[in-house]
């Protein structure tokens, strides 16, 4: 069995940067949406109607899709970090990684269906 | 003359099946101000089987790192009057225990050694020493003072989970110390070796390291500077 140090996987930096960039993207969209809810809606019914009309607007659809893509990438790095921290068995860790990817991919496809 | 209560973690693997806490009530003189003095009194007058490390007794050698009331620090720098009684003393967490308050630091120093803690410069040797300007030397302030006591690394949850893979704040502080040294010529190599999901990027900026450092250093800031250099290199 190899007992030497296993280091230099070479992807830690990219994941870290992706998580920061996607966090900023999500923050911008979150602020825009909170502002929309605060300033446009006075009742639940009008919120629902204005929400619908808002999502008929193409830039909003594109923005929402970018938000979900950022969320999926952000969640992938975050959830993988949790598995890396707490799961020591490599076989189980790999299975959990695959399950996470499938779940997040499914969520992404579902977000496309909902938005478009 | 005053009395203080201590509850100390005891474990001798040769005689004890499991660790336990032993209570001591210690008479101290007015001039006994530091925790290390109290520990030495316990060993000298109350229980000579108590084991702990100490050397310089003035915060320079870093050998008496200890967990006091749940917080890491150097026994020789801790004021007795600031401690809540009974003072609970444990070995620094996350490392294998050899006996009582003495831990096996092998894992910690393995991580330190792996960052190549020396200036790498393959250029021909100058006739005299390699020089560094006072301005360049400034960058090493707040980094070079680390005494490798392990208070920070053993207070770091990321180091507890992955002590074999995550370098820990002390080794990362030293990694930055050599990256920041203008005499060192291996910056890219050092950054390559740190670009790993475990070695550097298990740091989640919890900042326990900066909180407990007895020399008031900030490993989190050094780690942030390493990440900044990686960004500068990549974009």
Q: Which ipTM score applies to this complex? A: 0.80
* Model confidence pLDDT, tens digit, residues A33-45: 888 777 765 566 6
* Model confidence pLDDT, tens digit, residues A71-87: 999 999 999 999 998 89
What pLDDT, on a 0 to 100 scale, did the predictor assign at position A36? Answer: 78
DSSP characters over A24-64: HHHHHHHHHHHHHHHHH-SSHHHHHHHHHHHHTSHHHHHHH
What pLDDT, on a 0 to 100 scale, did the predictor assign at position B1? Answer: 81
| Residues of chain B with C-beta less than 8 angstroms from the C-beta of A86 | 161
* Model confidence pLDDT, tens digit, residues B5-59: 999 999 999 999 999 999 999 999 988 899 999 999 999 999 999 999 999 999 9
Same domain, B135 and B76: no
Q: Are B235 and A14 in contact (CB under 8 A)?
A: no
What pLDDT, on a 0 to 100 scale, did the predictor assign at position B194? Answer: 93
Same domain, B119 and B98: no
CA B16 to chain centre: 28
We report the CATH number of the domain holding residue B171 as 1.10.1060.10
- B188 has pLDDT over 80: yes
| Residues of chain B with C-beta less than 8 angstroms from the C-beta of A77 | none
Question: What are the average pLDDT values for consecutive 10-residue runs of chain A, which has 116 residues?
Answer: 66 92 95 80 64 83 94 96 90 96 97 93
| Residues of chain A with C-beta less than 8 angstroms from the C-beta of B201 | 12-13, 15-16
Q: Which residue segment(s) compose the domain that B51 sits in?
A: 2-103
Q: Which helix (H) or strand (E) holds B24?
A: strand B20-28
Of the three residues B103, B127, B142, the one that is the final residue of a domain is B103
CATH match of A12-115 with 3.40.50.970: no
What pLDDT, on a 0 to 100 scale, did the predictor assign at position A46? Answer: 67
Q: Does A17 touch chain B (CB under 8 A)?
A: yes
Of the three residues B83, B103, B123, the one that is the final residue of a domain is B103
- B135 has pLDDT over 60: yes
Mark which residues 145-204 of B lie under 8 Å from A by CB.
Answer: 158, 161-162, 165, 192-202, 204
What pLDDT, on a 0 to 100 scale, did the predictor assign at position A48? Answer: 67
């Amino acid at each position: 069995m190899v007992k030497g140090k296993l280091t230099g996987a070479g992807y830690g930096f990219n994941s870290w940067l992706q998580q920061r960039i996607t966090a900023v993207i999500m923050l911008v969209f979150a602020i825009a949406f909170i502002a929309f809810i605060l300033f446009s809606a006075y009742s639940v019914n009008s919120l629902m109607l204005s929400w619908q009309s808002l999502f008929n607007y193409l830039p909003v659809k594109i923005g929402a899709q970018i938000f979900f893509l950022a969320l999926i990438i952000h969640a992938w790095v975050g959830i993988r970090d949790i598995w890396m921290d707490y799961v020591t068995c490599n076989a189980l860790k790999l299975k959990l990684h695959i399950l996470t990817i499938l779940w997040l991919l499914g969520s992404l496809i579902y977000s496309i269906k909902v938005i478009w | 003359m005053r009395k203080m209560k201590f509850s100390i973690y005891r474990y001798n693997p040769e005689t004890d099946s499991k660790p336990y806490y032993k209570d001591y009530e210690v008479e101290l003189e007015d001039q006994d101000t530091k925790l290390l003095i109290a520990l030495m009194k316990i060993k000298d007058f109350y229980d000579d089987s108590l084991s702990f490390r100490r050397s310089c007794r003035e915060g320079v050698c870093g050998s008496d790192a200890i967990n006091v009331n749940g917080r890491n620090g150097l026994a020789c720098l801790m004021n007795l009057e600031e401690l809540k009684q009974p003072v609970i003393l444990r070995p620094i967490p996350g490392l294998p225990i050899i006996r009582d308050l003495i831990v096996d630091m092998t894992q910690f120093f393995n991580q330190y050694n792996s960052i190549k803690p020396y200036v790498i410069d393959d250029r021909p040797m100058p006739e005299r020493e390699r020089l560094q300007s006072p301005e360049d030397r400034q960058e090493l302030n707040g980094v070079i003072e680390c005494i490798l006591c392990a208070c920070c690394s053993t207070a770091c949850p990321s180091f507890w989970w992955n002590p074999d893979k995550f370098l820990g704040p002390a080794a990362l502080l030293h990694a930055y110390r050599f990256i920041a040294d203008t005499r060192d010529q291996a910056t890219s190599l050092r950054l390559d070796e740190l670009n790993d999901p475990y070695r550097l990027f298990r740091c989640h900026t919890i900042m326990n390291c900066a909180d407990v450092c007895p020399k008031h250093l900030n490993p989190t800031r050094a780690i942030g500077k390493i990440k900044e250099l990686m960004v500068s290199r990549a974009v």
